[in-house]
Structure 1
């Protein structure tokens, strides 16, 4: 395992400690606000409006995952429906992201399918696009089944995510081609064993670029989720060389990460979206952000020392 993967594995392991979570919740609120728009829908909508003023569109995500009972799943569905209804009244592009474990996937695949079907039934008439996030490897197969089932039912305003660090991903992409999916490609942020995922950052980066080029060659609409300037530059050069217009792909970055790059890409005429998370269930999301870059750990330590 290289140093990047070793760092990520260690941080995610430590982050599971209840004592560490309690400490960060108590003393690192300033850091949280760097990556999370707030705990309320109103705060998230204000953040989205600010981004729109900078030419950057927002992906709104009510944070939550791996619910323990059906009542929680239904409560999250209602929270997402509240978001969908609020976005339906906005003049700017409307885009929601969610996780199936938030809707009870671990309890029942049928429950998650049913609750997401209810969300899409309200989202599509309002012009709200819904992206199903991909979670860790044991949940990939079920997530793809739910996505395919919804597409078979005629829902068009729904997209899926694939992770370049999983060995299976190229096959999954090829299997999805008949559906012409709106696809987001990411590196992957979960702690995965070497049996299912690449452990070398260089290979993961190479796979992300390979999959992006494959999807573009196949004529899919592709959202490339990366902050890596080299990767962004390579995608731009590849698209230009092949004559792929800027309206056939987009760049997606995280709220609070490289905002100047987001604005610059928007000024260049690319579609840029910032992933804007909000809600009270922010700790797992923040843990993954800390695990992505050692610089984020220094920010945590500074926040803890400074209170």
Structure 2
């Protein structure tokens, strides 16, 4: 195993000078430091990253919390963050966010003890507590709307819900149900607000009787869809708050013998890859998922480089027309 002593001998320099150069400490000219690092690499010297971290007060590690690692929305998001981490040779830790503020606080404390450099958090059902929990740590929030205290990245969730519902209205539907996301989650509330605004502006019926609450998962979409159909059998279209809920509702319609889109039009929101392979192909309002991860990663790097300004980045959504929406009457 090659040691600092071996590198010092090969360079003809003192161990102290070589150690300073390899650990990025002052006291060695840039030209000499570059020469030392080149010789060390040629000899196969493995630097002590723990020691370097203590000196630099940086572990070159960032953490990404997601509320559900089984949701296919998040792998694409992770790829975006990872691409930015790779640019800086940072280690990315992926964690499933706890569903209680106490548990999340404990996990964040553990990361601080490990001297993680920065944190990215995706929206969860403990949004109200997050601002305080990440205080004092470089952090970027995703899919939470505008923060004010921390940098944030996302789309205009209310506008996305409006666009989804407006697409159904433009197709001639006048009784449009909504499968909502989890209660208390800002993303869910904003998407529902968009649904409500579109209906009100069109002078169409709106109210709790047209809403069933899901959980952003297929099973929840299936269950909420069945509840909605039983309560409001006259609806001809449904805006599901995310693609997984929409996929669950498609299955519910299939079980009940309701053809989509001939008798029921369905639109989702997210644009996950799985939505392209449903039968029929799901119409959805797509978020730029990977780009959201890239933008969040870059905002975090700006903080790590000393730019503490809390910026809000809002990216556009896109209507992806599948085959799950038809004009009222099948035209």
- TM category (shorter chain) comes to 0.3 to 0.5
User: Relative contact order (C-alpha < 8 Å, sep 6+): which is higher?
Assistant: 1
Larger radius of gyration: 2
TM-score scaled by structure 2? 0.31
TM-score scaled by structure 1? 0.33
